[in-house]
Amino acid sequence: MIIEVKVPSVGESVTSGVVSAWHKKSGEFVNEGEPLFALETDKVSTDIVAEKSGMLETKVPEGQEVKIGGVVAVIDDSKVQAGEKKAPEPKKTEKSQPKKKEESAGIKSEAEPEKKTVEKQEKPAPLKDRPLSPAVRRIVEEEHLESAKIHGTGMAGRLTKADVLTVAQDRKSVGEADSLPGTAAPSPTVHPKAEARFVRKKMSPLRRKIAQQLVMAQHTAAILTTFNECDMSAVQELRRSKQDEFTKKYGSKLGLMSFFVKAAVEGLKAVPVVNGRIEGDDFIQNNFYDIGVAVGTERGLVVPVVRDADKKSFADLERDIADFAARARDGKLKLEDLQGGTFTITNGGVYGSLFATPILNPPQSGILGMHKIMPRPVAVEAKVEVRPMMYLALSYDHRAIDGKEAVTFLIKVKECIEDPKKLPLDF
């Protein structure tokens, strides 16, 4: 039976996606529940799994955009995995029985011609017509081998995995030897490559969505940024003194982000308007604290949301953030992980950013930017000391938040970081 593999719905507003990578090749056997391909949409990337076991035949190449509900492959569940079928056929036995009877009766028969026929059938098939198993075909394609020129050691001259791996390894060894001084290279093939002055390629759905969001934020909100700096000495000392105990007790490290999430919650409680958003002619005041934490991936920036951050312990926050980061980099975030945040924190300091202005994450009204911790000389009680300092940046929608409220929020965050005892420490 032929089963169609269709692009599933991954969200109400998602109408298409891109087959970013096939985990299984056409002609390979797949088991039920195995990942078939990665589907990348403008919101999230997810793996689509096989609903049935069978032989896969892909219909679209990697990188092609497909509509929701479109057929991207078929699975033939009537075919089983190589090595599980083809039990010995009794035909040869049936043919050999009458021969024995005829020979015992002293009757001259056509046994000799039949034997020759059997021998002809057992001879290897022409090299170009030899069927290849999925594993052998994949190696041949990846290593760019000419299967017709490889001697097969399998039944009826078929190529085995060991045959093609040996040829591929021998070719690599020859290539390495050719690079050694004094070694003659056997007829090297030159492949001239003309380096293009530019390369044109389509933006991924996620990158297009990011671009649209950033432009929309700039066009629809009156974005203003206010800055401050905070002394990280107290947090760094607390982390040093509690790190071993925290790790043994909770199984995760005590990082910086949990302190800033807690400090942001305290700031939002002190200045509730920063935790709201404009919707048409209305202002929506959120009385819950779902904090988005920006995570950089190879495909772009995503912002998974830590739910009810005010009710979670430091250990819970660290586990959630670590889990989000791992799943984001593996492309396994779900759509619901990215929806519903009320405020966002982004840390450009992990990339070395010293000073920057973050852009709002619509429809939110505020975003806090963290930066690199740098030792700098500062005045402490009329003395100059070198302290680990971090610049903080709060970008906000000036339509809803006044400058006084923005500064008050940022000062509250600064105070909580410089004196962690003002936070609800639970470790």
Taking residue 340's Cβ as centre, other Cβ atoms within 10 Å add up to 12
Q: Which of 308, 402, 419, 426 is catalytic?
A: 402
Contact assessment for residue 314 and residue 254, using Cβ atoms and an 8 Å cutoff: yes
Q: What residues are paired with 284 via a beta bridge?
A: 277
**Which residue type sits at 62?**
E
Q: In angstroms, rounded to a whole number, what is the distance separating the alpha carbons of residues 246 and 228? A: 30
Q: In angstroms, rounded to a whole number, what is the distance separating the alpha carbons of residues 6 and 12? A: 17
Contact assessment for residue 183 and residue 177, using Cβ atoms and an 8 Å cutoff: yes
DSSP assignment of 270-321 equals HSGGGGEEEETTEEEE--S--EEE-EEETTEEE--EETTGGGS-HHHHHHHH
* Ramachandran quadrant class, 339 (left: phi over 0; alpha: psi -120 to 50; beta: rest): beta
Q: What residues are paired with 229 via a beta bridge?
A: 391
Q: In angstroms, rounded to a whole number, what is the distance separating the alpha carbons of residues 177 and 181? A: 9
Establish how many alpha carbons lie within 13 A of residue 140's alpha carbon, considering only the half-sphere containing its beta carbon.
16
Q: Which of 290, 310, 316, 398 is catalytic?
A: 398
Residue 316 annotated as catalytic:
no
Q: In angstroms, rounded to a whole number, what is the distance separating the alpha carbons of residues 98 and 306? A: 79
Residue 23 annotated as catalytic:
no
Give the active site residues.
398, 402
